[in-house]
Amino acid sequence: MTTPRPGRVLISEPELRTRIGELGQQIARDYAGETPVLVGVLQGAFLFMADLVRAIPGDITTDFIGLASYAGGNRSSGQVRIVSDLAMPVENRHVVVVEDIVDTGLTISYLRRNLEARHPRTLRVCALVDKIERRQVDVRIDYVGFTIPNVFVVGYGFDFGGLYRNLPYVAALDETPP
Ligand code: IMP
C-alpha cells in the first residue's frame, strides 16, 4: 500500500498569515494590561504557536505541553496522555491554550480539565482549525482560526504518521490510490 500524499490546499500561506494576524490582535486586545501565558500543545501546534506569538503586540510568556492522543495514523484513540508537562506552574495565571485542531474534542476537554485543576486565573482555548462536524464532546473554543469540513488535513504542523508537518500550508490528505 502506498503512503497517502498531501492533496488539495485547504488553507494557503497568505490565508494563514492574515487570520493568525487577526487572532494575535484579538488576543492582545482581550489581555491588554495583562501578561497571559500561551501554552502550545505539542507537537501539532508548534508552527501555529510560533506565528501566533509573533502576531501578539503585548507582553506574554510561553510554555508547552506534549500530549499524545493519536496512535500515529489518522484515527482518534480516545486516549490522551501527557508526554511532557509544562515547565512552570500556571496557578493564578491567565492561560491561553494554543491547539492545532479540535476534532472529536476529547483531547481539549481532557486538557481543559487537567489545567483547571492547576487553578489558573482564567483559561481560554485558541485552535487554528475546528472540525466541528466530528465533535463527540461539547467543548468551548474561545478563538477559532478556520472551520473546516470533515477531511483529514496535513501540513503546517498537522501530520500523517509523523509526515508532512513541515509544509507551509494546510492540505487535505489525498487517500485515493494513484
Ligand atoms: P480530538 O481529540 O479528536 O479533538 O483530536 C485532536 C488531535 O487529533 C489534534 O490535536 C491532532 O493532533 C489530531 N488530529 C485530528 N484531526 C486531524 C487531522 O485532520 N490531521 C492531523 N491531525 C489531526
Q: Is residue 1 part of a domain?
A: no
Q: Report yes or no on 2 lying in a domain.
A: no
- What pLDDT does residue 80 have? 87
Q: Is 158 in the pocket of ligand 1 (CB under 6 A)?
A: yes
* CATH code (residue 44): 3.40.50.2020
Ligand 1 pocket check for 100: Cβ under 6 Å: yes
Output the residue whose Cα is nearest ligand 1's atom 20: 153
List per-block mean pLDDT (blocks of 10 residues) for the chain, which spans 178 residues.
92 98 98 98 97 98 88 61 96 98 94 97 98 94 97 97 97 82
Which residue is closest in CA terms to ligand 1's atom 3? 104
Q: Whose CA is nearest to atom 9 of ligand 1?
A: 101
Q: What is the pLDDT at residue 67?
A: 92
103: Cβ below 6 Å to ligand 1? Answer: yes
Query: 138 is in which domain, residue-wise?
Result: 7-30+38-174
pLDDT of residue 70: 54
Overall number of domains in the chain: 1
Sequence-distant (≥ 6) Cβ neighbours of residue 168 within 8 angstroms: 13, 155, 156
Phi and psi based region of residue 21 (left: phi greater than 0; alpha: psi -120 to 50; beta: remaining) = alpha
Tell me which residue of 54, 26, 19, 57 sits closest to 40, measured CA to CA. 54
55 and 23 in contact (C-beta within 8 Å)? yes
Q: What is the pTM of this model?
A: 0.94
The answer to whether the beta carbons of residues 37 and 88 sit under 8 Å apart is yes
Neighbouring CB atoms inside 10 A of 16's CB total 21
Q: Could you tell me if the CB of 129 is within 6 A of ligand 1?
A: no
100 is catalytic: no
